[in-house]
């Protein structure tokens, strides 16, 4: 059962597509405070767990901390961070009810932080739709929610293959090297990513002609080898006369403005840019059509980035900072002045004041950006995906995004942003999966190996063993970090063994993914959803249920030969490595399992069968029909 309550005049976020009639506010079961900021609060039972919030730091159980829904360009994914790139305002409160707060501005979530037995949700405004969902259990409430927000996006089948990326592949020779080194070392590969260096002066929908003298021939040569190229598209459009994308957007008034109606000026990779006004439906259609410049060359995948939107600085903010810095001299600066100078510089990036200075044309209505911040990136992705479907049909083009909101799951997947080469981020990757799944984001994954810092051989192998199960399996790193392509490490056959497992499992993983989309269900679940009466299972946060057949439990600690695993029911452990399989039936209870660096552990429920294919070098060469079975 779903009840809807409307406050004020909510902005249409495009999150809910089902027709649900609003009810009388007097019947609302939660405590409310209205005014300039709507506040929703409720008591928490002593042992009640809270799940959800999609892309949020900390545990699978969100109780005991405070969070923010505010799409943020956040590079340090540490426990003190309250917000990451996505805003997903959905929680499940024990087995009592689920709650979706459909509001495009900032939302603060105190889930037992100030008072352990009290949850307080505060909106930075008072125009919102609030949905409360009752069901038989937690999983049922998630399914009901998913039904009203629509089916999850399904990418093309090749997008389930292994993918390699690096900020720093700058020339077509770099890409040929990646392709050839994978082939030489018998490492499967389906896609290579094109980060910002492929562009002409970081301009969207352009290609640097010196680095790629015949881009069409380059794309064609890769496709002949079953390698898909996936270029990045950023939100900011370089302000440059003669650059057709900017000229058109400027002429038609498709960029965001300041309070005086002038184009808002901010800086990102290309320097000063215009921010396309994705809340304007005409601007969305215009921007979506611009992907055609790359689509017509044979590109069939994209990743949208910097679309929170990320701001390095605004022109106004930079001018104020420069004026402030001119007042500081070495002779007058004490320690306080030093920290003030530092704060002036760092305070320019992603400034809340700047976000409050941006205005949109919401199809004729003038709206301040702070009130719609959390749907900006979502509507960028919507712009692209609506064009793709209209021009090419469903399931033809890969699309995933950094920023997102509830509802964007119908158009694309997400990746979890700029993580680190830390062991703790393998575990963070695992914990984000069920929360994303609750919010409809089935196609998701983290940068395997870590984007920032320097990876080690064992860290990469252990992370790949988790990535085997994530729908998006992409190895990605930052410019200037240690090379983390698998062929750069000793005993490369170990990497080949792990990647072969991904391709062997693809018939199962792909069918499980489609089933979750078709039935509005979760692909990954906390053990608490399946074993609510098992106290140990309820508190396990480093193991996940995968569809209805399996459980995964990766090794995520340095210098460990294995790990402890809790089985809430009898299961069979399969250690998969290339074409080698070790099988061990296990009873319910706690077990220590040894897992070699080239092995992938998978626990299969009794009576369930998992289809396996023969290893292949890419999805096009995979035999999807002639399969064997585990179990």
SS (H, E, C) 112-170: CCCCCCEEEEEECCCCEEEEEECCCCHHHHHHHHHHHHCCCCCCCHHHHCEEECCCCCC
Q: How far is residue 509's CA from residue 624's CA, in Å, rounded to a whole number?
A: 12
pTM of the model: 0.97
Contact between 219 and 229 under an 8 Å Cβ cutoff? The reply is yes
Give, for 229, the enclosing helix (H) or strand (E): strand 228-234
Compute, in degrees rounded to 10, the torsion defined by CA atoms 316, 321, 323, 325.
-170
**What is the token pair recorded at 187?**
């490492």
- How far, CA to CA in Å, does 548 sit from each of 510, 553, 631? 14, 15, 14
**What is the token pair recorded at 205?**
């929908």
Mean pLDDT by 10 residues, the chain (631 residues): 95 97 82 92 96 96 98 95 97 97 98 98 97 97 98 98 98 98 98 98 98 98 98 98 98 97 97 98 98 98 98 91 77 74 82 97 95 98 98 97 98 98 98 98 98 98 98 98 98 98 98 98 98 97 98 98 98 98 98 98 98 98 96 86
**What is the token pair recorded at 474?**
């992409």
Q: pLDDT at position 320, please?
A: 84
Contact between 386 and 288 under an 8 Å Cβ cutoff? The reply is yes
* Max CA separation in the chain (angstroms): 77
Tokens 């999150």 found at = 15
Contact between 566 and 530 under an 8 Å Cβ cutoff? The reply is no
- How far, CA to CA in Å, does 603 sit from each of 415, 471, 526? 26, 18, 15
Give, for 427, the enclosing helix (H) or strand (E): helix 423-438
Q: pLDDT at position 329, please?
A: 75
Give counts: helices (H), strands (E), the chain. 15, 37
Per the rule left: phi > 0, alpha: psi between -120 and 50, beta: everything else, 100 is beta
Q: Which residues, in sequence order, are CB contacts of 501 under 8 Å at separation 6+?
A: 468, 576, 577, 578, 600
Tokens 């099988």 found at = 583
**What is the token pair recorded at 46?**
């002593």
Give 85-101 pLDDT, tens digit per residue: 999 999 999 999 999 99
User: Could you give the residue ranges of the DSSP H alpha helices within 439-524?
Assistant: 457-467, 493-518
Q: How far is residue 278's CA from residue 235's CA, in Å, rounded to a whole number?
A: 10
Question: What is the three-class DSSP state of 223?
Answer: helix
End-to-end CA distance of the chain: 38
Contact between 434 and 60 under an 8 Å Cβ cutoff? The reply is yes
Q: How far is residue 453's CA from residue 66's CA, in Å, rounded to a whole number?
A: 28
Q: How far is residue 542's CA from residue 551's CA, in Å, rounded to a whole number?
A: 11
**What is the token pair recorded at 76?**
């340090």
Beta-bridge partner residues of 107: 69, 123
Q: How far is residue 377's CA from residue 14's CA, in Å, rounded to a whole number?
A: 13
Q: Exposure of 36 by Cβ count < 10 A (0-12 exposed, 13-18 middle, 19+ buried)?
A: exposed
Question: What is the three-class DSSP state of 180?
Answer: helix
Question: What is the three-class DSSP state of 326?
Answer: helix
Question: What is the three-class DSSP state of 82?
Answer: coil
Tokens 């307080």 found at = 120
Q: pLDDT at position 26, please?
A: 66
Question: What is the three-class DSSP state of 14?
Answer: coil
Contact between 574 and 583 under an 8 Å Cβ cutoff? The reply is yes
Give 164-186 pLDDT, tens digit per residue: 999 999 999 999 999 999 999 99
């Amino acid at each position: 059962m779903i009840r809807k309550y409307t406050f004020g005049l909510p902005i249409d976020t495009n999150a809910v597509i089902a027709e649900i009639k609003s009810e009388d506010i007097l019947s609302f079961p939660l405590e409310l405070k209205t005014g300039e900021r709507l506040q929703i609060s409720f008591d928490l039972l002593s042992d009640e767990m809270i799940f959800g919030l999609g892309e949020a730091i900390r545990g699978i159980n969100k109780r005991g901390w405070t969070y923010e829904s505010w799409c943020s360009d956040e590079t340090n994914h540490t426990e003190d961070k309250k917000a990451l790139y996505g805003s997903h305002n959905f929680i499940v409160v024990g087995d009592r009810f689920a709650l979706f707060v459909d509001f495009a501005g900032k939302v603060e979530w105190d889930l037992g932080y100030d008072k352990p037995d009290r949850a307080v949700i505060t909106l930075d405004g008072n125009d919102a739709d609030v949905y409360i969902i009752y069901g038989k259990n937690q999983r049922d409430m998630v399914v009901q929610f998913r039904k009203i927000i629509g089916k999850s996006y399904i990418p093309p089948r090749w997008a389930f293959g292994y993918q390699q990326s690096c900020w720093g592949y700058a020339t077509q020779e770099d890409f040929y090297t990646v392709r050839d080194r994978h082939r030489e070392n018998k490492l499967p590969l389906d896609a290579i990513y094109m980060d910002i260096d492929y562009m002409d002066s970081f301009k969207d929908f352009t290609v640097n002609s010196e680095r790629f003298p015949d881009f069409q021939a380059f794309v064609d040569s890769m496709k002949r080898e079953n390698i898909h190229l996936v270029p990045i598209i950023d939100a900011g459009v370089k302000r440059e006369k003669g650059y057709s994308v900017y000229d058109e957007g400027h002429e038609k008034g498709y960029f965001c403005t300041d309070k005086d109606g002038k184009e808002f000026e901010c800086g990102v990779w290309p320097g000063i840019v215009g921010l396309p006004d994705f809340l304007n439906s005409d601007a969305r259609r215009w921007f979506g059509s611009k992907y055609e410049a790359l689509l017509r060359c044979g590109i069939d995948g994209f990743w949208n980035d910097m679309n929170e939107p990320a701001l390095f600085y605004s022109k106004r903010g930079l001018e104020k900072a420069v004026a402030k810095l001119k007042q500081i001299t070495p002779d007058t600066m004490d320690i306080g002045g030093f920290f003030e100078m530092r704060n002036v510089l760092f305070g320019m990036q992603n400034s809340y004041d700047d976000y409050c200075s941006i205005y949109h044309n919401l199809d004729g209505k003038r709206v301040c950006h702070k009130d719609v911040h959390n749907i900006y990136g979502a509507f960028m992705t919507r712009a692209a995906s609506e064009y793709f479907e209209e021009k090419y049909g469903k399931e033809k083009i890969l699309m995933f995004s950094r920023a997102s909101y509830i509802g964007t799951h119908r158009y694309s997947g997400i990746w979890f942003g700029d993580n680190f080469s830390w062991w703790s981020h393998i575990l963070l990757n695992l914990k984000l999966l069920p929360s994303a799944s609750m919010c409809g984001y089935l196609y998701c994954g983290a940068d395997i190996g870590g984007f920032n810092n320097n990876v080690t051989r064992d860290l990469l192998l252990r992370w790949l063993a988790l990535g085997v199960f994530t729908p998006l399996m992409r190895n990605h790193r930052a410019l200037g970090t240690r090379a983390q392509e698998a062929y750069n490490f000793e005993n490369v056959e170990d990497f080949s063994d792990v990647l072969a497992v991904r391709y062997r499992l693809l018939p199962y993983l792909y069918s499980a993914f489609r089933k979750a989309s078709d039935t509005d269900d979760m692909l990954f679940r906390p053990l608490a959803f399946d074993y609510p009466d098992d106290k140990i299972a309820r508190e396990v946060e480093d193991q996940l249920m995968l569809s209805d057949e399996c459980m995964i439990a990766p090794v995520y600690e340095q210098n460990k030969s294995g790990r402890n695993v809790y089985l809430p029911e009898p299961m069979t452990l399969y250690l998969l490595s290339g074409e080698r399989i070790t099988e061990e039936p296990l009873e319910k209870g706690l077990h220590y399992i040894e897992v070699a660096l080239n092995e992938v552990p998978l626990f299969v429920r009794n009576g369930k069968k998992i289809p396996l294919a023969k290893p292949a070098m890419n999805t096009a060469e995979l035999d999807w029909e002639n399969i064997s079975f585990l179990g």
